[in-house]
Chains A and B, each alone.
Chain A
Amino acid sequence: MTVSIMLDPSVYETAKRVADKDGIQVGELVADLVRRHAAMVDAFGDIANDQVRFDIDNYDIRREPGESDAEYADRVALFR
């Protein structure tokens, strides 16, 4: 889906400068910012409720005794 959004010229200028630095389009930059902000809002909501849902970026899978590096890596990959 394609939508248009209104940006203050100075905000657009900043967005364009940062996007150019990263070698991406302004639209990609905005999408990335929205996704990251949404994830942060969700995480803080979880923290407020004392229940942080599983996310491999927030949790470490406990390694079991006798598990080799390769076995552990394979098991962690199951949750990505």
Chain B
Amino acid sequence: MRAGDFVWSMFPFDDAPESPGPARHVALVVAVASPNALMRSALGGRATDIVVCLYTTSRIGRFEAELPVGVVPVSLELARRHDQQVPFLIDTRRRAFLPPTSNFFPDIGAANGGVIASIEAQLFSRVKEAMKRVNDRHRHHITNAGPLRPRGT
């Protein structure tokens, strides 16, 4: 699993942000983070990576005519190039910080690690630009989920 992969996840819902969500959901990995040397030494053998994911949804009609800042639309044609059969949205405002475990990534033990497809470079650039825009100007719209989300969020 690496940045730019679409993966099957149990993306946590807002009402239980610490726990795996109730249904399989496609998420986009934007980073895999490993404890730095200081943390590794403090944690010993218990150091755990964190997978940072974005929420995606195929409910493309959920927003009014204009998409909110931070939501990136993926057309049917582009979706098909990513092994998905319907257009979908990538919501860069909705983020999860998850351990790479099977309760959050149900297919992590499979040969492909639960990876559905890797994102095309141009689309990934759009996603990163949208994340930056949200970080810079709409930070209050960010929701972080997952047991390893930053403290206080």
Interface residues contributed by chain B, number (CB under 8 Å)? 29
B135 partner residues in chain A, CB cutoff 8 A: 78
Q: Pick from B3, B50, B128, B150: contact of A64, CB below 8 A.
A: B3
Considering only CB atoms, which chain B residue lies closest to A55 in the complex? B150
A57 partner residues in chain B, CB cutoff 8 A: 36
Q: How far is the CB of B76 from chain A (nearest CB, A)?
A: 27
Q: Pick from B36, B43, B132: contact of A47, CB below 8 A.
A: B43
Q: State whether B31 touches A58 (Cβ < 8 A).
A: no
A59 and B43 CA atoms in complex are apart in Å by: 12
Considering only CB atoms, which chain A residue lies closest to B33 in the complex? A59
Residue among B33, B34, B42, B149 with the most chain A CB within 10 A?
A: B33
Q: State whether B34 touches A52 (Cβ < 8 A).
A: no
Among residues 29 to 52 in chain B, which have CB atoms less than 8 Å away from a CB atom of chain A?
Answer: 30-36, 38-39, 42-43, 46, 48-50, 52
- A37-73 vs B, Cβ < 8 Å mask (1 yes, 0 no): 0000011000100111111011111101000000000
Q: State whether B147 touches A78 (Cβ < 8 A).
A: no
Q: State whether B151 touches A53 (Cβ < 8 A).
A: yes
Q: State whether A62 touches B33 (Cβ < 8 A).
A: yes
A28 within 8 A of B: no
B148 partner residues in chain A, CB cutoff 8 A: 51-54
B71 within 8 A of A: no
A5 and B143 CA atoms in complex are apart in Å by: 36
A79 and B50 CA atoms in complex are apart in Å by: 13
List B residues at the A interface (Cβ < 8 Å).
2-4, 30-36, 38-39, 42-43, 46, 48-50, 52, 97, 128, 131-132, 135, 147-151
When A and B form their complex, which 3 residue pairs have the shortest distance between CB atoms, in order from nearest?
Answer: A59-B33, A62-B32, A54-B97
